[in-house]
Structure 1
Amino acid sequence: MKLVLTGVTGAAGIQIFRQAVLDAAITKITVLSRRALPSWMDIPENDKTEVIVLKDFLDYPSDLPARLAGHDACIWALGKSSVGLSDEEYTRITYDYTTHFVDSLQEAGTKDKTGEPFRFVFVSGEGADPSGKSNVKFARIKGMTEKALFDLPPSSNINASVMRPGYFFPFKASDRENIRSRTARSMDCLMTPIMKTILPSMYIPIEDLGLFAVEAAKGRWSDEKLFPNSRMRELIKASRTLENQQ
């Protein structure tokens, strides 16, 4: 299986990347990144990863869409906090980058592809509002992106699904130091035990998030389109229970 990944230097994306590298069913990983991957990333050594640096996620090299359309799936974890960004900036990063990728795939041939559809897994977040009525920037624009994906016609031959993880944090020290600010790290120490005990349905261990994303990209649970945090945890728990019984 050939997989496209974005956002691999973020808290969710880096764990998804590690999980994909360790999965024997995935034979090729193409990482789209805005810059060369930093040296602090602790990724298992492998020979199946190719990194493509894009200066602009709205202006692909002419040969790239066809190369990407030859893959089987994409996990789109690219994103940024909406804090401090204008609506225009956050829309460009969240909505425009995502829909440009999907549109480029269709133009490059996914709609003419026979057999299994291209699977597109979008990492959204709890609170996203596809109705577009929310006054919260994150909820409105993430929701708008979800709606665009769910509105893809069958003729696109793209099977889009959406993950809405709740609270999570990097478990490796090097990840925390390079991804989270000092303030965010302090909040993680405070929030994690609270979320685990008081609101467990809104918390997900980062390892479970990574595993869920990769399994979804492989076509597991393909009869479902939207995965709230509680549903993700439920499915992962059921999967582990089944494995332990075998």
Structure 2
Amino acid sequence: MNVILLGATGMVGQSVLRECLLDPQVKSILTIGRNATGQHHPKLRELVHANFLDLSAIAGELSGYDACFFCLGVSSAGMNEEKYKAITYDMTLSVAETLVKLNPNMTFTYVSGAGTDSSEKGRSMWARVKGKTENDLLKLPFKAAYMFRPGGILPLHGVRSKTKLYQAVYTVMKPFYPMLEKWFPNSITTSEKIGRAMIQVALNGYSKPILETSDLNHF
């Protein structure tokens, strides 16, 4: 399987990249991002590209892929709906619409979040925007599309959050990870499980298009 990965420098993206590099079923990984990951591996190729609303400059390098793992995202904190939608919805759909034209047999996996509002009508701004993003991705003619809705994510294997406050909390909580996983199996998962789940869903499919934390923990 040949994979395109967006958001490889974020916490989830780091985990997905790690699992892809380790998994023999993944033949190659192309990362696309504003910054390179700094990693080197025979399976890994990186494209640095700033404008996700226009991929025309790199479109010639985006064919021949079996799966896209879209792990790019931002917090809605301090953002109005227009700005958050421009990043969360507009960029995601721009990338997806380009890729589905070039790779109609591709499986597209999008990292959303627990509490996403599929009705697009709830009070929570971020949940409405995520819901519209999911709904419109599922309408595109990919071979298959899956929406991942993790709740709490425990970073493993040296994966770090780029947000200093979040990373400080993870560092303090690390001794309690095993207990948290055991006590909250329907609301907490690990970065490793998300990466593994993405690969397995892309390879083998899943019984439903939206995967909650409990689904991710089955892999």
Same fold (TM over 0.5): yes
Any gaps of 5 or more consecutive residues in structure 1?
112-116, 237-246
Q: What CA distance in whole angstroms lies between the structure 1 residues aligned with 2:207 and 2:56?
A: 34
The CA distance in 2 between the partners of 1:46 and 1:141, in whole Å, is 36
RMSD: 2.2
User: What is the aligned partner in structure 1 of residue 117 from structure 2?
Assistant: 129
Provide Cα deviations, 1:133-169, integer angstroms capped at 9, x if missing partner: 12212211111111001222xxx24411111111013
- Partner in structure 1 of residue 152 of structure 2: 167
Q: Displacement of 1:172 after TM fit? A: 4.3
Cα 1:46/1:123, change in 2 over 3 Å:
same
Q: C-alpha separation between the residues in 2 aligned to 1:95 and 1:195?
A: 32
Residue 211 of structure 2 corresponds to residue 227 of structure 1: yes
Q: In 2, distance between residues paired with 1:172 and 1:211?
A: 14
The residue type paired with residue 72 of structure 1 is D
More helix by percentage: 1
- Taking the aligned partners of 2:139 and 2:56, their CA distance within structure 1 comes to 27
Larger radius of gyration: 1
What is the rounded CA distance, in whole Å, between the counterparts of 1:199 and 1:83 in structure 2?
25
Counterpart position of 1:91: 85
Amino acid at match of 1:232: L
In 2, the alpha carbon distance for the partners of 1:142 and 1:25 equals: 30
Q: Are 2:48 and 1:53 equivalent residues in the alignment?
A: yes
Q: Which amino acid aligns with 2:94?
A: H
Are the counterparts in 2 of residues 66 and 105 from structure 1 also a CA contact under 8 Å? Answer: no
Cα offsets for 1:143-200 (capped at 9, x unmatched): 1111001222xxx244111111110132345x43x6231x323433359657435433
Look up the match of 1:75: 69
CA distance change for structure 1 residues 24 and 196 in 2, over 3 Å: closer, same or farther?
A: closer
Name the SS for the 1:129 alignment partner: coil
1:186 to 1:53, Cα distance in 2 relative to 1, 3 A: closer
1:76–1:120 contact (8 Å) kept in structure 2: yes
What amino acid is the match of 2:169? M
Structure 1 residue 69: deviation in Å? 3.2
- Which secondary structure state, in structure 2, belongs to the residue aligned with residue 52 of structure 1? strand
Gapped regions of structure 2 (runs ≥ 5): none
1:242 — aligned with what? Answer: none
Aligned pairs for 1:7-156 within 5 A: 7-37=7-37, 39=38, 45-62=40-57, 64-108=58-102, 110-111=103-104, 117-152=105-140, 156=141
Identity %: 29
Contact 1:195 1:202 in 2 (8 A): no
Aligned residues: 216
SS in 1 for 2:18: helix
